[in-house]
Copies of this chain bind each other. A is one copy, B any other.
Amino acid sequence: MGTNVAIAGATGAVGQEFVRILEEREFPSDTITFLASHRSAGKEITFRGQTHTIQELTEESFAGVDLALFSAGGSVSKRFAPIAVDAGTVVVDNSSAFRMEPDVPLVVPEINAADIAGHKGIIANPNCSTIIMNVAVWPLHRINPVRRIVMATYQAVSGIGAAAMAELAESTRASLEGRPYEQTQIPHPAAFNVWSHGSEIGEDGYNMEERKTWRETRKIFHCDEIRVTATCIRVPVMRAHCEAINLEFTEPMTEDQVRQALADAPGVKIVDDRERNHFPMPIEASGQDDILVGRIRQDVSQPDGRGIDLFVSGDQLRKGAALNAVQIAEHLVK
């Protein structure tokens, strides 16, 4: 395929990360177009030392575009991705709009890059919490199928957007100064607080973020048997998520087997220094491509040796979003 590239949602938290990652990885592009809402159109963006003017995303934006990276929210994707496909563009979509469509590959390249080939114009990028968990769990699942996962997340506010990151800083500053502060992006007081993920809650009591962890994992792993329960929680952190992951395997699994499998796994870095009490932290995962994995230990509550506990951290904006999408795009242009 050709490499006339468009970024839809260029000014958001993920969009800005697209720009940085395309530069860093020297992504091959003949032309690049930055698209955003009417409000952001006309603003300028620097890419590879050149200034580009952001254009308004319209139905005419995709003429001659070979590849579009979308990160402008589900409703924008639903409206414009089919238009782009009709114009001959291949879309890598970061929203949840198409993830569960049977003819849309849902891809974490380290796991199921082969699925990309089956696309009909749209390839979906999974949910951030799911990607981060999957990168750590897949190398283990490959050698000893995981039956059940119990996960609790510690999610950064970057997932709400760039404005929420600024709001966390401002509301924390206000809290330290004893000033009131009216938040508009984050639904609960953010300063020195922890709160449940704000996505819609179904009748079964799970929110949408939690639901994605099992739906998407089953599709990515090609494994309908894997069972997941998750509690998705926000913490006052800027941009990397953490996850406490409890795994139940089909066969007994030792800590050494886990270490060996993870040591060779792409996209994983083991950070597990018990003596110095140094384990994955969002402040160290931020800006990194790898998912940090630590607190690796046999689960004492599973006397048959089939349990393993982990604690992981990964950059929500990079591997949890923009990096994963760019990796998919790299497979497309290869």
- Please give the residue numbers on chain A whose beta carbons come within 8 Å of chain B beta carbons, in ascending order: 148-150, 152, 154, 168-169, 172-173, 176, 187-189, 192-196, 198, 201, 204-207, 214, 227-229, 231, 233, 235-238, 242, 244, 246, 255, 274-275, 277-279, 281-283, 294-303, 307, 309, 311, 313
Q: Are A148 and B301 in contact, with the CB atoms below 8 A?
A: yes
Q: Are A214 and B300 in contact, with the CB atoms below 8 A?
A: yes
Which residues on the B side are within 8 Å of A297 (C-beta)? 204-206
Q: Which residue of B lies closest to A227 (CB)?
A: B301
Q: Are A244 and B228 in contact, with the CB atoms below 8 A?
A: no
Q: Which residue of B lies closest to A201 (CB)?
A: B274
Ranked 10 nearest A-B pairs via Cβ: A205-B297, A152-B244, A152-B152, A227-B301, A231-B244, A229-B301, A196-B279, A193-B283, A201-B274, A150-B150
Give bound CA distance, A279 to B206, whole Å: 13
| Number of this chain's copies in the complex | 2
Taking the nearest CB of chain B, how far is it from the CB of A230, in angstroms? 9
Which residues on the B side are within 8 Å of A235 (C-beta)? 154, 194, 235-236
Partner of A187, one of B277, B282, B301: B277
Q: Are A172 and B168 in contact, with the CB atoms below 8 A?
A: no
